[in-house]
Amino acid sequence: MQPIHVILMNIEQAAKQLEALGNVTRLQVYRTLVRAGEAGLPVGQIQERLGIPGSTLSHHLQRLLLTGLVTQERQATTLICRASFPAMNGLIGFLADECCADAGCASQAENAA
């Protein structure tokens, strides 16, 4: 039986998430939210910590939201952003689950030679 994150994650979704994280600013935003933990951060604090314009931050947050790596919640007038830890764990699991899966083939080929 496959681990659940393999069932939920497909290669297209993984590629979209990795592409989103392939931008330096988005990766900085994401790492900032991961560091903040489950509580997340208000948009204004992310902007202050990274020193980027609000419109730039909004653009990058939107891309992270579309890929499911980040969630947002409005609390009164404040927009709280959080890293989606299930999505992060799913992506990490997707990348690691087949680690060395074909290594047996290499060992068998060497033994046959």
Domain that holds residue 20: 4-112
State how many domains the chain has: 1
Q: Over its length of 113 residues, how does the chain's per-residue pLDDT go in tens digits? A: 445 444 456 899 999 999 999 999 999 999 999 999 999 999 999 999 999 999 999 999 999 999 999 999 999 999 999 999 999 999 999 998 888 888 876 555 555 55
Task: Give the predicted TM-score (pTM) of the model.
Answer: 0.81
Beta carbons of 46 and 82 less than 8 angstroms apart: no
- In DSSP notation, the chain reads ---HHHHH--HHHHHHHHHHHTSHHHHHHHHHHHHHGGG-EEHHHHHHHHT--HHHHHHHHHHHHHTTSEEEEEETTEEEEEE-HHHHHHHHHHHHTTTTTTHHHHHHHHHH-
Whichever domain contains 79, its CATH number is 1.10.10.10
